[in-house]
Structure 1
Amino acid sequence: MPNPYVRRPPATSPALRRLRVPAPVLPTLCALLLLCALTLLYAGPAVAERIELTVGVERIDYPPYGSFRHGDYEGYARDLLDSFAIEYGYTMVYVPLPIKRLYQDFLEARTLDLKFPDSPDWHSGRRKGLRIVYSAPACSYTDGILVKPGNLGKGMGAIKTLGILAGFKPWLLDPPIDPKSIKVSENASISGLLGKGLMGRVDGVYANVEVARHLLSAMDRTDQLVLDPGLPHMTGDYRLSSIKRPLVMREFDEFLKTRSALVDSLKRKHGLGR
């Protein structure tokens, strides 16, 4: 007869017996459970989806500032804006457009979040009534009139036909040029424009000095067109601008200020600020 005071292990069903974990496996299982618990406890917040920003850029070859080549946008502007985007959690989507279309999409259709380069002085009449936010200067530039070395110092009287890039306006030069006093010859590319100047088809070329230097060097025609400092010219700053994203503009200004060493290194990389 069984002793009623002897404790026996409780009966278990075959299903429960199959769920028993062999003793040698228990330490590994406990370690895995602990690791999962610690991962959940100390894991940071989930990574938010990066916000896409559309950046309207000029569909021209404009080194070293920015060029659209081989189906991609490249140059100083690309490196600068990508560096900013990485740090502040954005994804830049570059939209290369002809200059006239770029102004239309940015100022009128307003399909773009940002525009680079930009300046409040460009097409100022079309900007009236718009709340456009401009960044601090991202880099400086000099625009002027390039001539053949033999024509240096002849003054504006020698410029009968001035070559300009389509969509650009030379009327901001100092002193101002009277648009009625000269003939203007437009070109869709700055390389083609410089070619006109080299061949003597125009008397002078209105261009960014740094861009002209880069492209003439690539053509192996360095110093065959030179800036005439006696002719109207101007200096200014390229800025980022936005109508729709004022917060992004404040962040970009912060980036330019706190990462000035990085910005300077990018300028040196692209041969700016010499």
Structure 2
Amino acid sequence: MDDSQQHEPQGTVEVPADGLIVLAGTPIGNMGDATARLVEWLGTADLIAAEDTRRLHRLVTALGVTVAGRVVSYHEHNEAARTADLLAQVRDGKVLLMVTDAGMPSVSDPGFRLVEAAVAAGVRVTAAPGPSAVLTALALSGLPTDRFCFEGFLPRKAGERAGRLRDLAAERRTMVFFEAPHRLEPMLRALHEAFGPDRRAAVCRELTKTYEEVLRLPLAGLLEWAEATEIRGEIAVVVAGAPDAAPSEPADHVADVAALVAGGLRLKEAVAVVAGEFHVSKRELYSAVLAARA
């Protein structure tokens, strides 16, 4: 076995001659969730791009890892300026490990800009998957998990937040949000106003940590809890998607047909268009139109 094989982290891909970027998931609370691949890459990577170098220091100290590579900060305020230099070093054959404060890089955290630039430059990118606050909250919420979307942080300004939620009012998938503890109450109030008091939801707090808490209540109940509670810690909010709309009857769409006929379509053509759009029987819709004219 040659030296490159001896120093390559077990179970990972072979490092290409023109370098490699590794996105590694870090614990979201419990250090016991650190993966063996994360530990190995921390000790072997030539470069480590960290969202917060102080947090990285605490992480490697807790894991008992000695970092051999150079550590650089990489966060929302410097990623635009630093990406090109990091890519240049990778193309010289170095291995760059990208880590954020918690969870997977690029998911509501720095990393997307680096991956986007790497893909455009033909630089190899892989991942050492690890903990994810999004998936952990979703799994613990008790809400449907077969279809979901991640919405990150809602806008801080009330008007912009309300606009975003209006766009999501008809979303059928389960939705996952992040929120700061001091903004949770106004966020829940906005959700309550946009989605109604009975929409099922869950507030997931301090996931994987000692004081982990998951509250599963309708939005009205969660808002009442938030109004009476001093909230601390990292927060994820999971909200059920909009319920399926009640199926419509052919008679409900007589006016839609009339509008198309008034616009110049023949009756049968208008019936076919409306029946296809609203998934109702053409025959029954046609009959309903004739009955309305009688």
Q: Shared topology, TM-score over 0.5?
A: no
**TM-score, structure 2 length as denominator?**
0.29
**TM-score, structure 1 length as denominator?**
0.31
The structure with the greater share of residues assigned to strand is 1
The structure with the greater share of residues assigned to helix is 2
- Bigger Rg, which one: 1
RCO (CA 8 Å, sep 6+): is it higher in 1 or 2?
1
